[in-house]
Chains A and B, each alone.
Chain A
Amino acid sequence: MKICSRCLYSELHPLKITIDEDGVCSGCRIHEEKDLLDWNARFQKLKQITENYRNQSGNNYDCIVPVSGARDSYFIVHTVKNVLGLNPLLVTYNKHYNTDLGIRNLANLRIKFNLDIMTLTVSPETVKKITRGTFRKMGSIYWHCIAGQTVYPVQVAVKFKIPLIIWGAHQGIDQVGMFSHLNEVEMTRKYRKEHDLMGFEAEDLIDEFDGIEESDILQFRYPHDKEIERIGVRGIYLNNYIRWDSKAQHEKMIELYDYETSEQTRTFDTYNDVDCFNYSDVHDYIKFIKHGYGKVTDHVCREIRLRRLSREDGIKLIKEYSIKGPKNLNQFLKWFGMTENGFKFILDQHRNPKIWFRNQNWEWELKNPDPFQNENSRKSEIDQVRLDLVENECKFRYTQNKRPDFLDDNYILIGKGYYK
């Protein structure tokens, strides 16, 4: 298994990755553009694009901004509303696994920015049914969240004839260098199906075995090509025009708008995905089982490339967090209506045979328990492409919990939406 000589991604990355002759991955190579491009000029380009989408009649919004309340939401809304001066309509797909803090952050977002928001909450029974199907078919409990997050903004764009959707960072660019920033990649149904939805469109879930019918997947259906064309829907990504640094951006948002952070189970990043009980917990544990790595590797690679973390410290963090078990599994199983044995049985069908094998006792074992064991023998290769650190420590902040006495142990389907 090849590992990039600069960051710690392996060639088994599910979004696919290429490694060049110097042993450096495509993600690191594209990341180098962040230090080379003229971001002022790129921002001007963004301004020019969005300026054309300003609504002239005053009867409609200028654009749509999909938000969750966490992960870059504040920064995107801040940029769209306060920097670009647009009037966005916020849309959010209710992911069902909401934490109280997530509800607070989302409420705070719309209060502080004083914006309209549309929320799609699919019936929990339908969501459970779909999740049973996706868990069986692809070992994913998060398909419905990603499908909802990526389709609801497009549905709203088509329904309300708001042709521009503004997204934050394109994962394909940021993680594996799928595109250059200069490609100015836009939202496509193709990327969504292949990478976000793991190859399964909503229609592919209709199945007698899972009891999923046409009516169950209605809310996850992508609008027809003709509808997209008729309105001229485009989804642009801010990281093509703004030098993306999620950590620095979140820190600015904490100062400006009181964004709340929280400790996470399987990563050291306290800023992203704090709105969800499962993302860096059960979902990330599943990712580790399926692909042999977790969110912590994504965050470590990001910080190595942004020159805040050394490769060696990154390896320590990966070793510390990757093996952590999920804290909220019982809560999920209770909601889902499944036993732990049943959960493990299905999950085992999705283990990547390149990473796992059954040992003599018929237990699962990692083929390569320490993927970083060859570090010493690769030292000269690694040192050659090593980036100098620009910050000496990579520290993530904790903010004070705004409801310290509240026992946050249940998914909040619909929250109150204000806090004191």
Chain B
Amino acid sequence: MLKKRIIAVVIVKDDIVIQSIGFRKYLPIGKPEITLEFLTSWGIDEIVYLDISATKDQKLPNYEMIRRAAKKCYVPLTVGGGIRQMDQVHELMSAGADKVSLNQIAWNEISFVKEVALAYGNQCVVASVDVLKTSNGYKVYDYTKKQATGMDPTDYAKKLADYGAGEIFINSVDRDGTYLGYDLDLIQSVTNSVHIPVICCGGARNAADMVQVFSKTNVSAAAAANFFHFTEHSVNVSKSIVYKNENIRLETHANYSENTFDSDMRLTKKDDKILEEMLFLRIEKETI
């Protein structure tokens, strides 16, 4: 069986990595290259880099910044935001992207998905779907218009897969930055409707939510954005927790396999005795 993946989403707005809360409140984190450098060294499986201002402000992807950041990234890198034409995909691939994430362009012009898939292979296309829970059920959300469309996300996901998308990146708008956990119903309905890998995103508070989404749905990868910024070694710590239940990759030197965690999935103190034993080598008193 394929290993499940833990993916970090790096949300970039106006060239700054940010925390996004409910698609409207944004907190500044810093530079993309430093974020990618540390996520990589902390053992993340993949990184999805999403520029949320490019399409909205009619800007091109910032290739220079992506090139700089990709240099620090040694895991598969998906780049999204501001993609409208094929030559932009070429430029992104030469800047260091391994896959592209298509959202608005796929919505407006689904044949573009096929075009990219034909040029670079299906695995290169990550179709991104924002979903809002409405009184009429789940609907695909158009973030540029800030409103839900009438489209059902499972139908849309099927259509995207038919057009050659290699993966579906499903993002829950109402859960964004809420830390309420993943929307399991939504994720399960989408994974059931397509035969390609589904990445879920939106609402993760900590690794416990990842454990839950893997146990309750058939999702291939759990993605999170904000909480990876909060603590030291956030990735290896999270993976060590998920590793206890799931078949995932945990290959960092510091793998936290012997540590314990509290209910917030924060590190707890090791036993005083263990710490003391690490302090000095103890030599027993000799008795004759």
Taken together as a complex, chains A and B put the C-alpha atoms of A194 and B264 apart, in Å, by 26
Taken together as a complex, chains A and B put the C-alpha atoms of A188 and B42 apart, in Å, by 12
- Residues of B close to A176: CB separation below 8 A: 28
B220 within 8 A of A: no
- Tell me if B232 and A233 are in contact (CB < 8 A): yes
Q: Which of A223-241 contact B (CB under 8 A)?
A: 225-226, 228-235
Q: Which of B191-236 contact A (CB under 8 A)?
A: 226-227, 229-234, 236
Total of A-B residue pairs, C-beta within 8 Å: 123
- Tell me if A188 and B269 are in contact (CB < 8 A): no
Knowing A60-B276, A229-B255, A234-B266, the reply to whether A29 touches B25 (Cβ < 8 A) is yes
- Tell me if A183 and B230 are in contact (CB < 8 A): yes
- Tell me if A193 and B27 are in contact (CB < 8 A): no
B231 nearest in chain A by CB position: A186
A327 within 8 A of B: no
- Tell me if A160 and B270 are in contact (CB < 8 A): no
- Residues of B close to A180: CB separation below 8 A: 27
- Tell me if B232 and A59 are in contact (CB < 8 A): no
- Tell me if A225 and B270 are in contact (CB < 8 A): no
- Tell me if B231 and A185 are in contact (CB < 8 A): yes
- Residues of B close to A403: CB separation below 8 A: none
A215 within 8 A of B: no
B16 within 8 A of A: yes
- Residues of A close to B232: CB separation below 8 A: 186-190, 228, 233-235
Q: How large is the interface on A (under 10, 10 to 19, 20 to 34, 35 or more residues)?
A: 35 or more
- Tell me if A52 and B269 are in contact (CB < 8 A): yes
Whole-angstrom distance from the CB of A22 to the nearest CB of chain B? 11
- Residues of A close to B252: CB separation below 8 A: 225
A367 within 8 A of B: no
- Tell me if A161 and B30 are in contact (CB < 8 A): no
Taken together as a complex, chains A and B put the C-alpha atoms of A190 and B17 apart, in Å, by 13
- Tell me if A185 and B31 are in contact (CB < 8 A): no
Taken together as a complex, chains A and B put the C-alpha atoms of A194 and B276 apart, in Å, by 33
A18 within 8 A of B: yes
Contact of A179 (CB < 8 Å), options: B13, B26, B31, B229: B229
Knowing A179-B230, A189-B38, the reply to whether A17 touches B268 (Cβ < 8 A) is no
Q: What secondary structure prevails in chain B residues at the interface with A?
A: mixed
A178 within 8 A of B: yes
- Residues of B close to A235: CB separation below 8 A: 232
Taken together as a complex, chains A and B put the C-alpha atoms of A194 and B38 apart, in Å, by 10
- Tell me if A228 and B30 are in contact (CB < 8 A): no
Whole-angstrom distance from the CB of A69 to the nearest CB of chain B? 27
- Residues of B close to A186: CB separation below 8 A: 230-232, 266
- Residues of A close to B234: CB separation below 8 A: 188
B19 within 8 A of A: yes
Taken together as a complex, chains A and B put the C-alpha atoms of A176 and B269 apart, in Å, by 31
Contact of A234 (CB < 8 Å), options: B226, B255, B267: B267
B260 nearest in chain A by CB position: A232
- Tell me if B230 and A15 are in contact (CB < 8 A): no
Contact of A16 (CB < 8 Å), options: B16, B233, B254, B264: B16
Taken together as a complex, chains A and B put the C-alpha atoms of A228 and B35 apart, in Å, by 19
- Tell me if A18 and B28 are in contact (CB < 8 A): yes
Taken together as a complex, chains A and B put the C-alpha atoms of A192 and B264 apart, in Å, by 24
- Residues of B close to A292: CB separation below 8 A: none
Q: Which of A145-172 contact B (CB under 8 A)?
A: 160-161, 163-164
Q: Which of B254-275 contact A (CB under 8 A)?
A: 254-256, 259, 262, 264, 266-270, 272-273, 275
B278 within 8 A of A: yes
A184 within 8 A of B: yes
Knowing A53-B269, A234-B266, the reply to whether A178 touches B29 (Cβ < 8 A) is yes
Whole-angstrom distance from the CB of B195 to the nearest CB of chain A? 37
- Tell me if A232 and B276 are in contact (CB < 8 A): no
A20 within 8 A of B: yes
A58 nearest in chain B by CB position: B272
Task: Return 8 A-B CB contacts under 8 Å, by A number.
Answer: A60-B275, A178-B27, A179-B229, A183-B226, A184-B230, A185-B229, A190-B34, A230-B278
The 8 A-B pairs of least Cβ separation, nearest first, read A229-B254, A16-B28, A225-B254, A190-B38, A161-B275, A194-B34, A188-B232, A18-B26
> In the complex, given contacts A52-B268, A229-B255, A232-B268, what are 6 additional A-B residue pairs having Cβ atoms less than 8 angstroms apart?
A20-B25, A163-B275, A185-B230, A186-B232, A231-B275, A232-B269
Q: Which residues of A contact B (CB under 8 A)?
A: 15-18, 20, 26, 29-30, 49, 52-53, 55-57, 59-60, 160-161, 163-164, 176-180, 183-191, 193-195, 199, 225-226, 228-235
